[in-house]
Homo-oligomer: A and B are copies of this chain.
Amino acid sequence: MIRTIGVDPGSRYTGFGIVEGDGSHLKHIHHGTVKIASSRPLPERLEIIFEQLKDSIGAYGPQFMAIEEVFFAKNVKSALTLGQARGVAILAGVGSGLSIHEYSALRIKQSVAGYGRAAKEQVAGMVQRLLRIDKELEPDAADALAVAVCHISTWSSNLRWKVPQRQ
């Protein structure tokens, strides 16, 4: 059983979701969205993201952080903004001793919805079903839970593959 915090960072909305499991069994532990008014100055926003993620890591004790790999953005400005939020999110993980893992959007969709071109809503719906969550999920929290699920299934299948080599 491993426990993972998935993170979907952004300068206004940072989703996070904690999932425990071993591939076939998945258990939803907690999720939420850090929401920050765009009127707040940048340094304060980055600090809020960092502190709130650190608090959740402290409260729920995951061993892993999973985060989506990013290769593109609308433009350079939004890439810079996203990069800043992403940097402090990763720092919150590594500073708490977590092992950090990145997954492509394709890989995340495949592992949650079964195919890589699934729509955002389909992924959110599957996350809800897989984790038996009754209430509708906010988009950023759904994305965060999806990358956590992706990490757990990837990690677990790696372990399964490794078992024969150890015997």
Contact = CB atoms under 8 A, between A and B. Distances in A.
A43 interface: yes
B83 A72 contact: no
B79 A43 contact: no
Copy number in the complex reads: 2
Interface in A51-108: 70-73, 75-77, 79-88, 90-91, 93-95, 100, 102
Interface residues of A, number: 31
A134 interface: no
B76 A46 contact: no
A153 B1 CA distance: 57
Interface string A36-49: 00000111101100
